[in-house]
């Protein structure tokens, strides 16, 4: 591996990201899968870095899942997105940041489509007006939330309480980074680092002290793939893709996996349980799995937030081995205490995958 070769490619895929004043839209599913992630994003950006991030309870889904599952036509998705832009315009913002990768891809795709077909944009403006009497300006800048954490990575590193270093060995932790397909594959020029060697997550890992693993199936889909998972008859394809990735990364013994998409961490986390049950195989040390984190969760960990406050107890794969390596102290008895110490009950333990 020639690191300078990658740097050369990264230099071709950089983008100027505005520093402040963002209209933030959440993902449909992340709050259920990884409930601490979006909360921590706002906490870090607003509370810690004192940036202006606005969000409104009036925003909806971007329609991306339905669009990618072929259940609604693109005009409908565009009208939904137009309404989101209208909310941004009404709130007085021009920079739009999406928590979800598919939303990000969806917004970029729609804006590019309107650039090529202005008559379609005019039609959508008309549809939006008929539907809810709203008007919108197109955002000046659309970013994915991981772009912003990437942008702020050095500020986070400066405030970090923990480095991505194994405190037992002193070695940098080995990290797999997995980028959501819709982040760069459709429009590589809108990403950080391009689609072949994306840098958005690698940059965070490097800035926080870890080593990035480049394994053969790094480009492969996590296995979610909307129609793969949502149609039960296709679920075998979904898990097969995930399995392929784990088989490929296994020899590198990754300490954790970092992701920037709603579906990827979920499927790479939960399918480890299903693979363990069906194949009897686990990929971490001593029967554990490989912890899968979102970039907000990882940022929160290095900044020293309590693992249970950022929702890590909702992961299928136990994060404790990673916390031990990082030297992060945690209270095992508090793991299943929710907000205000409310008991959220212990889950049943799986048969094969070791979870505590």
Partner 1 sequence: MKENIVIIGGGIAGLEAAGQLLGLGYKPIIIEKSDRLGGHVADWNCLFPDMTPAKDVVGRLIAGATEANIFLNTEISFVNKLKDSYNIMLSNGISIITKIILVTTGFSVFDASKKEEYGYGVYDQVITNRDLEHWFNTGNDRRIDDCGMNAVGFVHCVGSRDEKAKNPQCSKVCCITAVKQAIELKQKFPETMVYCFYMDLRMFGKKYEDFYIGAQRDYGIRFIRGRVSEVSENIDGRVIVKAEDTLSGKPVKVTLDLLVLMAGMVCNPDSTKVANMISLPIDSDGFLKSRDNVADIIDSPKDGIFYAGACTGPKTVPETLAEARAAALKIHLYNKTMQ
Partner 2 sequence: MDFGFKISPSSAINLDNVDTVKFEQLHDMEPDVYKCMACGSCTSTCPANRFSGMSMRKVILALQRGKEKDVVSMMRNCMLCGKCTMVCPRGINTRHLILSICRIYREDGK
Smaller CB separation from partner 1, 6 or 125:
6
User: Among 88, 212, 239, 290, which residue interacts with partner 2 (rule: CB under 8 A)?
Assistant: 239
Burial of 11 (0-12, 13-18, 19+ CB in 10 A): exposed
Smaller CB separation from partner 2, 189 or 234:
234
Question: Phi first, then psi: what are they for 114, rounded to 5°?
Answer: -65, -30
- Six-digit token string for 322: 């990673």
CB of 219 to partner 2, least distance (A): 15
Contact 230, 69 (CB under 8 A): yes
The binder of 349, among partner 2, partner 1, none, by C-beta within 5 to 8 A per type, is: none
Longest dimension (CA), the chain: 63
CB of 198 to partner 1, least distance (A): 11
Name residue 122's beta-bridge partners.
Answer: none
Contact 261, 180 (CB under 8 A): yes
Smaller CB separation from partner 1, 12 or 19:
12
Site string for partner 1, 208-237 (x = CB under 8 A): ------xxxxxx------------------
Q: Which of 94, 191, 84, 103 is nearest to 147 (CA)?
A: 191
Smaller CB separation from partner 1, 198 or 307:
198
User: Among 9, 49, 160, 323, which residue interacts with partner 1 (rule: CB under 8 A)?
Assistant: 9
If binding is defined by CB under 8 A, does position 235 make contact with partner 2?
A: yes
Helix (H) or strand (E) holding 84: helix 74-91
CB of 242 to partner 2, least distance (A): 9
Smaller CB separation from partner 2, 131 or 231:
231
If binding is defined by CB under 8 A, does position 250 make contact with partner 2?
A: no
If binding is defined by CB under 8 A, does position 274 make contact with partner 2?
A: yes
What is the Cα 335 distance to its own chain's centre? Answer: 23
Handedness of CA 327, 150, 310, 282 (dihedral sign): negative
The binder of 351, among partner 2, partner 1, none, by C-beta within 5 to 8 A per type, is: partner 2
If binding is defined by CB under 8 A, does position 347 make contact with partner 1?
A: no
Q: How many residues does the chain have?
A: 356
- Helix axis angle, 118-132 to 74-91, nearest 10°: 70
Dihedral angle, C-alpha 331, 337, 343, 347, nearest 10 °: -80
Smaller CB separation from partner 2, 236 or 347:
236
CB of 172 to partner 2, least distance (A): 31
If binding is defined by CB under 8 A, does position 330 make contact with partner 2?
A: no
Smaller CB separation from partner 2, 41 or 271:
271
The count of residues interacting with partner 2 (CB under 8 A) is 15
If binding is defined by CB under 8 A, does position 351 make contact with partner 2?
A: yes
- Six-digit token string for 290: 């490989």
Contact 97, 78 (CB under 8 A): no
For partner 1, the binding residues (CB under 8 A) are 1-2, 5-6, 8-9, 194-197, 214-219, 251-252
């Amino acid at each position: 591996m020639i690191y300078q070769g990658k740097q050369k490619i990264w230099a071709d895929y950089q983008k100027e990201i505005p520093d402040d004043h963002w209209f933030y839209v959440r993902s449909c599913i992340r709050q259920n899968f990884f409930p601490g992630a979006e909360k921590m994003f706002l906490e870090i950006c607003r509370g810690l870095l004192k940036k202006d991030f606005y969000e409104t309870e009036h925003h909806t889904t971007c329609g991306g899942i339905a669009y990618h599952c072929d259940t609604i036509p693109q005009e409908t998705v565009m009208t939904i997105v137009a309404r989101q832009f209208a909310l941004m315009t009404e709130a007085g913002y021009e920079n739009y940041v999406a928590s979800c990768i598919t939303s990000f891809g969806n917004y970029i795709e729609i804006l590019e489509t309107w650039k090529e077909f202005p008559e379609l944009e005019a039609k959508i403006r008309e549809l939006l007006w008929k539907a809810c009497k709203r008007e919108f300006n197109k955002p000046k800048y659309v970013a994915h939330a991981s772009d912003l954490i990437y942008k702020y990575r050095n500020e986070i590193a400066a405030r970090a309480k923990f480095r991505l270093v194994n405190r037992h060995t002193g070695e940098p932790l080995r990290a797999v980074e997995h980028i959501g397909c819709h982040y760069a594959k459709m429009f590589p020029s809108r990403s950080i680092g391009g689609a072949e060697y994306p840098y958005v997550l690698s940059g965070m890992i490097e800035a926080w002290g870890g080593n990035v693993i480049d394994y053969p199936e790094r480009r492969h889909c996590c296995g979610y793939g909307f129609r793969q998972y949502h149609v039960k008859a296709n679920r075998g394809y979904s898990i097969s893709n995930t399995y392929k990735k784990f088989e490929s990364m296994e020899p590198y013994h990754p300490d954790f996996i970092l992701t920037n998409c709603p579906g990827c961490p979920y499927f790479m986390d939960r399918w480890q349980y299903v693979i363990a049950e069906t194949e009897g195989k686990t990929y971490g040390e001593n029967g554990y799995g490989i912890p899968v984190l979102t970039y907000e969760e990882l940022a929160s960990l290095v900044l020293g937030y309590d693992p249970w406050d950022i929702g890590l107890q909702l992961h299928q794969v136990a994060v404790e081995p990673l916390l031990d390596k990082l030297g992060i102290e945690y209270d095992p008895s508090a793991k299943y205490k929710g907000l205000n110490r409310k008991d959220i009950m212990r889950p049943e333990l799986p048969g094969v995958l070791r979870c505590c």
